[in-house]
């Protein structure tokens, strides 16, 4: 019997920052998992277990696996919600880039991109939400409209010009 090794370091207890909206979303997910998804899956396990031989019961095996995944996510969320620092209210409106801001950029190929700098727990590439720990965010923080910023990326350096900084969703 071998031991299972982690492929990634457990960072659930590592402090971090999160926007108030991001914190609310994690709380809502935790509440939904606890009050809706978990009871539903526990009932499915109960029903499948009553059908007989559990070793050959695919529905039982599936339901147990899903219940385990829900419990694992609940444990993770419980740890994260206790160590995260909620950043309340909008950042200052002084034209500089801060945590929580939306930033419209122009790259060296004349392509425009909009990002919002958020905590690592709320990053979402499809929405343009980037982690405050990312190379792009680190290069942009405290800069202001008109500044040119060089970002070191794995694919090479990229030059951006900051076109606009918004403290509220520009969309």
43-76: per-residue pLDDT in tens?
999 988 888 777 777 888 899 999 999 999 999 9
Q: Kind and range of the H or E element at 106?
A: strand 102-107
Given 3.90.1720.10, 3.10.50.30, 3.90.320.10, 3.40.50.720, which CATH number is that of 102-166?
A: 3.10.50.30
For the chain, give every residue range classified as CATH 3.10.50.30. Answer: 102-166
Mean pLDDT (the chain) is 89
Check whether domain 16-87 has CATH 1.10.287.180, yes or no: yes
pLDDT at 1: 46
Give the model confidence (pLDDT) of 123-169 as tens digits. Answer: 999 999 999 999 999 999 999 999 999 998 888 899 999 999 998 88
Burial (CB count <10 Å: 0-12, 13-18, 19+), residue 86: middle
Rounded Cα–Cα distance for residues 127 and 161 (Å): 20
For the chain, give every residue range classified as CATH 1.10.287.180. Answer: 16-87
pLDDT at 91: 85
pTM score of the predicted model: 0.80
């Amino acid at each position: 019997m071998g031991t299972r090794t982690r492929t990634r370091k457990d960072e659930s207890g590592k402090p971090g920052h999160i926007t108030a909206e991001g914190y609310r979303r994690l709380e809502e997910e935790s509440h939904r998992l606890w009050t809706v998804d978990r009871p539903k899956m526990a009932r499915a396990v109960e029903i499948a277990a009553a059908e007989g031989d559990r070793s050959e019961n695919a529905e039982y095996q599936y339901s147990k696996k899903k219940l385990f995944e829900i419990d694992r996510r609940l444990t993770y969320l419980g740890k994260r919600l206790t160590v995260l620092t909620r950043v309340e209210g909008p950042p200052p409106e002084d034209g500089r880039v801060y945590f929580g801001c939306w930033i419209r950029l122009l790259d060296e190929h004349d392509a425009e991109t909009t990002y919002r700098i958020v905590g690592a727990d709320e990053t979402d590439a499809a929405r343009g939400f980037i982690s405050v720990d990312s190379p792009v965010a680190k290069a942009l923080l405290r800069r202001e409209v008109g500044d040119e910023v060089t970002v070191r990326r794995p694919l090479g350096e990229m030059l951006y010009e900051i076109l606009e900084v918004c403290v509220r969703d520009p969309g």
